[in-house]
Amino acid sequence: MYLKDGHRYLVFASKGGADTNPDWYHNLKAHPNVKVEVGNETIDVRAEVITGPQRDRLFARQASLYPQFAQYQRKTKRTIPVIAFTPKATRQ
């Protein structure tokens, strides 16, 4: 599941509200240049963890669309990471 934000694709490392981040999150932090599949398209992107007020705003947007995400955050003491995939063709 992803959330479109302009030209970026956002994903949320919720792991169902577990107290640890999912393994894929650690893989992205170590190797942020990846490919994502959106529909029939494969896109070269760079992954970036979003923090601070921007993270809070984007997570709130996701939780308003999918209330389960708010429940995930309540289940854990960690802040659920928000990761933005920015297509390399549009990076500035």
Number of structural domains found in the chain: 1
pLDDT for position 30: 98
Backbone angles phi, psi at 64, to 5 degrees: -70, -30
The domain in which residue 58 lies consists of 3-90
Cα(52)–Cα(68) distance, rounded to whole angstroms? 21
- What CATH number corresponds to the domain at position 24? 2.30.110.10
Centroid of chain to Cα 77: 18
Q: What is the pLDDT along the chain (92 residues), one digit of tens a residue?
A: 899 999 999 999 999 999 999 999 999 999 999 999 999 999 999 999 999 999 999 999 999 999 999 999 999 999 999 999 999 986 55
pLDDT for position 89: 84
pLDDT for position 5: 97
